[in-house]
Structure 1
Amino acid sequence: MIQRMSKYSFVIYHREYEEFLLALRDLGVVHITERNNPKEVDHLKAMLDRRANLVALRRTLADYLPEDMPEPKPLPTISEEAGEAAVQQLEHDLAQRSKTLSSIQLKRQEIAEQEIWGDFDPAQIERLGEAGYRLAFYTMPATAFTEDYQAEYDAIAIARNGASQYFVRLEQAGTSPAPDAEAIKPPTHSLTDLHNDLAMLEQRLEAESEALRATALDRLIELKAYDKLIDDDYMLGAARLQAVGQADDKLMLLEGWVPAEGAEAMEQALAQTGYYYQQVEIVDEDKIPILLKNNFFARLFEPITSMFSLPNYSEIDQTALFAPFFLLFFGLCFGDGGYGLLVFVLATIYRIKTKDGKDMARLLQWLGGGACVIGLLMGTFFGVTLGYAKAEDYFLNQDNLMKLSVVLGLIQIFFAKGVAAYKIKVQRGVKYSLAPFAWIAMLLGLGAMILLPRLELELPAFVPYIIYGIVGVSALVAFFYNMPGKNPFLNFGSALWTAYNMASGLLGDTLSYIRLFAIGLTGGILGGVFNQLAVEQTEGLPWLVRVPMMLLILLVGHGLNISLAMISSFVHPLRLTFVEFYKNSEFEGGGKAYQPLKK
């Protein structure tokens, strides 16, 4: 449900404008109408950049936080100077650690290059140079390094690495370099010294990491408090831009929105301060902020609504309307009671242990619990087909599941068309909604005329005539009153076009729901395949070997299957919701979230 909003105008003396904004921020209920984009103002854009940097730092800092986080406490008040100092110190510590890590990587690369030559003292090479000799280091293709080459050029083989041969020569001053070979710069440190340097760098890295771990929690609190400070300053700075100067800018005119249920409290609070306000009439051009208010179940699905778009103020919040379908479709796509039970258990554990994200944990509990129930009805539990599901006449066998998917699709599509008709009634009036409702009644009546004879039900003789009457009246309304006040021929032409679109669209939309049957069936079959592999591929092995191998196959196989099932069970219900349901319910969207000025 979309909460009703009240629109207010505020007139403030320019010298009191800052004080007035602080008063509004303390109230925390007024969504200020945005006339100017704060992202186009340099100092406000800089605030957003600083917040983005804080998010990146907190993400990096997460690697150093303790596993058992303490209960969150109210954030302390922090000044901008203290916040910047905390950021700079953390950036310095992270940069220092990154520098040490780079030095370790370079040192390891240097060791890998020198290990080919072995461990020796470079001072000996210097003494050879003082005596007039030079120990030259070379590499060349191993195929060219023959015995004749070694004998002719006094080449001493050191090591072979893949297709390359490494060798040395003792050369006097003026001696020509070894032909067909690439000279390599002689090492300047012994392998022992390099390993010692590496050990020192690794000790330094561990000390720097330990220092970060020791201060990570305090740094995180400082970053959160600083982020809160910047957010408050940004909200206040953005609010300053939205007023329109009046009377040579002596007066500031500001517009805002307040939820209708909280408007009276806001008026009483402002009445005590002496600021002028007036509730004004909402016009069609207004971009009214959207605040959703749903029951405990539908509220869990509001993030799914926000993923696509919030509804605009003139239409219906469809969160509570698609939520039961989404839960059902998720369970059908999951297709296994054991997998659903696992999701429910893990979500419950996460909800108990987590400090944040409890709403997501509750949603996963509902989805996992629903998948468990539906999976048991489908007759699979961790890939094992349950006994009652093996009967040929079981009501949820494969044939019936496909029919069920199509029926569910038709139910949701017709329900969506009913929502669209009701929305037209609310937005434009009853007479404009008669044709949409007539189309639904006509299609349902035609369906009843086709299905009832096949069901062989004993119905009173007058029932078919009632259905014929409903279909006839609905056809007249749908074909000749779909555009009230227009020419009947124009109505008829429009109805023919609507009939064509509805026939083609209804078929395509309904077939989309077969994916529920296909995906759920695939998940159950794959689970059974992994069970079969675990048994058959380890058959004949000793029990001490067979049991670990079976567990490994089951763990990897079912883990992969659950991962695929989770992705499919979210993606395809989302598609059916955002494409089929939203299209048939004529969802418009485009709403902007209600964001009051507050701390």
Structure 2
Amino acid sequence: MIVAMRKIFVVGLLRERERLLEAIRDEGAVHLVADDPSRAVPDDQTRDRVRALQRALQVLHGVASQGAPPDISPVEAAYRVLEIEQRSAECNNRLASLSHQLAQIELWGDMKLEWIESLQAAGVDVQFFALPAADVPAIEAPCMAIVGDLSDGRLVVALASRRSAAASAAATEPSHDSAKGTAKDAAVPDTAKAAGSFRLPESAAAVPLPPRDAPSIRAEAAKIEATLREDGAALAQLAHLSSAMQEELVRQEQQAEFSAALRGGLERDELFAVQGWCPADRTAALARRLKAAGIAAAVEWFEPAEDEQPPTLIRTPFWARPIEGLFKILGTVAGYREFDVSIPFLIALPIFSAILIGDGGYGALLLLALTLGYRRWSKMLGPEFTQLMIIVSSVTLAWGLVCATFFGATLYEPLIAVDLSEASRNFMMRLSFVMGAVHLSLAQLWQAVRLFPDLRFLNKIGWAVFIWGMLGLVQFFVLKSQFDWTTPWPYFLAVGASLAILFHYPSRNPLKMIGFGLGAFPLSMLSAFSDVISYVRLMAVGLASSVLGVSFNQMVAGLDNWALSVPILLFGHGLNIALAMIAMFAHGVRLNMLEFCGHLGMQWTGYAFSPFSKRVIREQ
């Protein structure tokens, strides 16, 4: 159920504000609301430490601890992890850049630029040109070699000639950017300056030397990779401190919450006040705790005003807590004045999922895996969601026993056949529509109970009756069932529509009542029709799952090679189970979240009750 809240105000002495907040935190029953939200923030140092510890734990997740643990504090370890993370990111970016550079100079192979410089110093002028392969024979040079080809099909050739003594002397003058000088000279070849001159065809274009050679790039990459290995080893050592960092994170988060609460209070003269929300059944206990602690404080509480939106605290019965795992995954919170749908969800979702999965063998397999590996699955999925999946798999197994279907094979005469026969399809469609009518009409009746004695409760009763009339209309269109005045369906429609229209907007003015009712009725009527018919997805997806399993069995029936049959069966049924899990969320959850909750008027606009409390640090 959704717990009733009270707006609570606590006023104490300014000099005892820390003691006051500690007592409130020890009680753990107040969702604090800051007087000025812009001021209710932790101090910068605490906030930075919390962020550093959170990020460090994310980085260390999955890192196996190795080596000796470093003798440093958890906070210092967190900052060191972040430093390594930043350096590793920079190193990886640099490696990617070096890899790109290597790809660009692949043409030059393992040539070193210092070789060209040595030749230049020895009086040998080396230049590189690109030209079509057909023009290579037209080159006249003392020494020529083909280096490689470009992406456009042209060849790159190296031409070498010995310079004259004067040119060699000029080359030894203090301008040692020889690679760039060679490129500059090659751009406009001067065949007259070399002792061994060469001639080029018009199609030849100078190719400058790369700014770096491959060996130097690889050497830099090797140093970076060594740094990454050292950082990886350092992270493995820091992983020993993960538990200590987790405990320190809890302490720092509590300090941040306390700091924010202290800053978010109201200070006037010698008084300090805080406000918030407290469960109605715990307000008196808070006042008693403050008195027992010897803190002079005044505690007052009030009913929430209509325009206020208290936080939502749901106390789910013990047996219904598995459904909380689903709400955690979906991240949905009911509004304070909405409905606690935990129990309806826990009843409907396993039934819908069982029909969608449609195979007892899959249910048995899931049940076996979840029960035997409960601890492992609980760590991955959370205990509540794991328990929910155990319930779903158990109901699926029960449905499989009713349908006699296990891994696509019918083992005995089923109570309910799920196959491609017309009788089976019609029965499953009828069952789906009836389940939809029950589901949706219960939502309307639930609203009616809450609205009573407001006359609008008759509007909800009218819609509940109208939905059953829609059931008959849907069966008439889809299943060609009888629909006339000898059946109850037209009467359900007439009575339900009358109540829905007349009591949509109760008023002393009959014209206003009818006018507003008629204005809202058409869209709601179409919505009711589409919502009832949408439950056909239970039949469609469940039948598809059953047929897919049968198809894979038939595929291997004629094969005598077990080495081929077993992988096909494993793949086929594994795929079917995966699709069934998707269907559970895509269709089973949808029918609850959209159709059912839509008829409840749920908008999921709430926010969770988060009390100012002291968390326990458990020993690892």
- TM-score normalized with structure 1 length: 0.78
CA displacement at 1:19 relative to structure 2: 2.4
One of 273, 279, 289 as aligned partner of 1:269:
289
Query: Who is 1:70 aligned against?
Result: none
Do 2:312 and 2:334's aligned partners in 1 also have CA atoms closer than 8 Å?
yes
Out of 125, 135, 155, the residue aligned to residue 134 of structure 1 is 125
SS of the counterpart of 2:318?
A: coil
Q: Which residue of structure 1 aligns with residue 23 of structure 2?
A: 23
DSSP 3-state at the match of 1:156: strand
Question: Which residue of structure 2 aligns with residue 332 of structure 1?
Answer: 355
Aligned partners of 1:150 and 1:156 also within 8 Å: no
| Partner residue, 1:145 | 133
Q: Deviations over 1:394-431 (max 9, x none)?
A: 99933322222211111111111111111212xxx354
Match of 1:282 in 2: 303
Would the aligned equivalents of 2:501 and 2:517 in 1 still touch at CA under 8 Å? yes
Change in CA separation of 1:171 and 1:385 when aligned onto 2, cut-off 3 Å:
farther
What corresponds to 1:158 in structure 2?
A: 147
Secondary structure of 1:258 counterpart = strand
Matches within 5 A, 1:7-406: 7-38=7-38, 51-52=50-51, 54-65=53-64, 82=73, 84-106=75-97, 108-109=99-100, 116-119=107-110, 124-137=115-128, 144-146=132-134, 148-149=136-137, 151-152=139-140, 155-160=144-149, 163-164=152-153, 165-172=155-162, 176=188, 179-181=203-205, 183-185=207-209, 191=215, 201-218=224-241, 220-246=242-268, 249-272=269-292, 273-284=294-305, 285-305=307-327, 307=330, 309-353=332-376, 354-355=378-379, 357-375=382-400, 377-378=402-403, 380-384=405-409, 386=411, 388=413, 397-406=424-433
Shift in Å, 1:304: 3.9
Change (3 A) 1:444 1:116: closer
Pair 1:433 & 2:457 matched? yes
The CA RMSD measured in Å over matched residues stands at 4.3
1:316–1:423 CA contact under 8 A, matched in 2: no
- Per the TM alignment, residue 11 of structure 1 is displaced from its structure 2 partner at its CA by 1.4
Tell me the distance in 1 between the aligned counterparts of 2:135 and 2:262. Answer: 85
User: One-letter code of the match for 1:5?
Assistant: M
In 1, Cα distance between the equivalents of 2:427 and 2:573?
26
Contact 2:12/2:295 (<8 A) preserved: no
Counterpart contact for 1:333–1:565, Cα < 8 Å: yes
What 5-or-longer segments of structure 1 have no aligned partner? 68-80, 457-463
Q: Aligned-pair distance for 1:108?
A: 4.8
In 1: Cα distance, 2:254 partner to 2:454 partner: 46
Shift in Å, 1:376: 5.1
SS at match of 2:245: helix
Give the drift of 1:508.
Answer: 0.9
Distance in structure 1 (CA, Å) of the matches to 2:419 and 2:114: 87
2:591 is aligned, of 547, 570, 576, to 576
- Tell me the distance in 2 between the aligned counterparts of 1:560 and 1:168: 59
Aligned to 2:448: 421
Instruction: Quote the Cα distance in structure 1 between the aligned partners of 2:309 and 2:23.
Output: 24
Are the equivalent residues in 2 in contact too, given 1:257–1:289 (CA < 8 A)? Answer: yes
Q: Residue 166 and residue 469 in structure 1: after superposition, are their counterparts in 2 closer, same or farther (change >3 A)? A: closer
Deviations 1:42-82 (A, max 9, x none): 75688667645543432222141359xxxxxxxxxxxxx95
Q: Distance in 2 between matches of 1:156 and 1:465?
A: 98
| Aligned counterparts of 2:134 and 2:473: Cα–Cα separation in 1 | 94
Q: Aligned residues: percent identity?
A: 24
Amino acid at match of 1:570: F
Mapped partners of 2:460, 2:95: distance in 1: 71
The 1:510/1:48 distance shift into structure 2, 3 A limit, reads farther
Deviation digits for residues 177-200 of structure 1 (CA, Å, limit 9, x no counterpart):
575445242586675x77676556
| Matched letter for residue 515 of structure 1 | R
CA distance in 2: counterparts of 1:574 and 1:130, whole angstroms: 78
Structure 2 unaligned residues grouped into runs of 5+: 67-71, 164-184, 190-199, 615-620
2-side partners of 1:556 and 1:395: how far apart?
29
How far off is 1:378 after superposition? 4.7
TM normalised by structure 2 equals 0.76
**1:378–1:397: 8 Å Cα contact kept in structure 2?**
no
